[in-house]
Structure 1
């Protein structure tokens, strides 16, 4: 089977100029030119719902080179550029988008095009290779429409479903089919296998990866992920309930901002009833101080209606430490208001969270775990994480990453903070930092020496050297905001 299944993504050398095929305002206007009064039978409830879902679906165009620029000798390599495509779903009005990991894996550039034709550079925020999901972000000029998410818990064999995606570069293409089977385990290749997929005969073509699979109510019930090569009308999607659990972890305030609230929650989705239930509350945490208890149902956070962990995390994302946000909480038959804030994670817990994320480990279905209260008097925060936006690890003895290189050693990048100087310069996990300014970076003492050097505050931008794939690259950290 590993030779017969393909991701629903495809790499092209060139893209054709294409037009949206999804029904929207523009389609209504052009139809009106032909017929001033379209039949009501043609404007079905689902056609109307497409007007809501299409603007929350985005087209993704990527680019990578087969060989990176060799920056040390200041001359770019002649490696050919390879373009790719995929689809994404808007999670949050600030520009957070979910897609597949394989869509953004190892790309050099990432471009997102909205339904209204606005185009933005995007950054990879977090990825989960094991579950083939990724969060990317753009900075839109105005708030974006959030997609209408449903549940995959009550899918029925044979019910109608619809796929939207950037099929072969044809933006916002819509196809129709049925749920052919549920709980499919699928192996794409030796490195990637999936559990519990939805099988559909709705046409899922190359470029559809990361796009929505909808039910007849216009709600997202899956994320399209794979097709069977050589077979017609056999496609697969990740159930949205499974995906939302992973997305909640990838978007948590712990993961992205090193904050915590002290809640352990579980998603409870049964047909039209969808709720977020508090499973436990950490002692002395912000949640405990707010009066939350196990069994509480959180229905709203600020202005966000809460149906699962993703809603709670995105409502808390961007809040300052100590900044209050109102939670509407149902306990038994009564609803009350609670005021909660986020607090800072201890460095130890933050490192543990990043280690868990990097390992690709997953949580139990429907459950989102968060931190215990930070330890008072704990060690000072890692300055390389605070200032540069990276967690660094010393290369183990015998590591061959620098074999044949002129360097005496280096520090491997274990994690990169989104929107940090490192992230903005394209540094990735696995890169080896071999120098800062005029100093080598063999171990932690070298890093501390640079960051604590009397001249450090006057060096901006700060030049860095990394080794990636056997080649040396350099760039410059702009540390104005970090200081």
Structure 2
């Protein structure tokens, strides 16, 4: 910037070159120079003030929510999956090969054209610099390929490390050696109703959408068509399809929950899996590829009025301990038959189903605190849960259901007159047991447990261990050439 000073030009026009009245000339020029410097400093100061005002305004717009999003969003990813759809069988075999009929039914009756893959979108969060991504199980269920896209548009293929349908959690591994951002981990055991939360995800395919709200409630249970989910965070931050698997953040930008949109009827209500629970499940999935359910070695039943009177527990709610496994965690911690369990961790217990749901939040190795009443006195029992072994699961199933099984081989097929080598064969049924009352008999084949097809004794043991985490089990039973489904109520062991 150039400044012009008239007095200097005037002095030069009158021949002032440092001669004649030198003192007066230099004094005049000094005053002019000082004024010029003052003017220039003032101009620079004004420019800096304007720039500072703009910077200050920019910083003022950076609210805590903005800072939280900036901190966490690089680790939020878009999860895109493809699932190959099986071809629909021909409806009219007589017209096989007729291109006109094939085109008609492909275009108007088949929901998916032949060879087309169904795609779905969800969200996830990078929780480990090696590329581990935490998301919802229903986001990647049945996926034949998985693609992960970061906020900077980098795309990677990912593979499934493990999934746990009961908790609706899954872990993916991004196949890359590049450095990846990691989301800051928070905790969910100190959450407050009313505190601000932030949800980030890809609702309806709109990448990195941010919504805000507050925690509306804690320890919520959600019943869907297939199962009951327990101990969820409820928020009024919008969580829509596509947000599933994305992060729920606190105001510090820390991960406190995994958003899920499993409850489609929700209007203005969102749910998230608490991060403390998610971390326990995630460790199991990374180490074992599946979750080893917590086992404490008790069987319980719900308390009704008649039972409460007989045990002198009128007015009490909880579950009554009916069996304590020899040498199990509960026995070592001092739990006894006849004790009344009031709580598991922070969850109050009023029924056997609530006991099973509360216990399902833990895995093998978890420290669990039980609220117990014994002889009218409340006490706390602390124990370390173990993983439920397949052998123990089978023993529990035998006690609760009342039948035993064998592997199917040629000898047993002939002896039991079995029609198939697939499944397991019922070896014995205890008279007057639940299984006997519903019609299961020696020689029947168990072909399926819930949604798991049974091909071997190992399949049966694994599926039964998973089934014991639920209130009931559905069996596909084959007798001769006929098959039928039976749903049996389990005895509430854990």
TM-score, normalised via structure 2 length: 0.44
Comparing both chains, which one has the higher relative contact order based on Cα–Cα distances under 8 Å and sequence gaps of 6 or more?
A: 1
Of Structure 1 and Structure 2, which has the larger fraction of its residues in strand? 1
Query: Which protein has the larger Cα radius of gyration, Structure 1 or Structure 2?
Result: 2
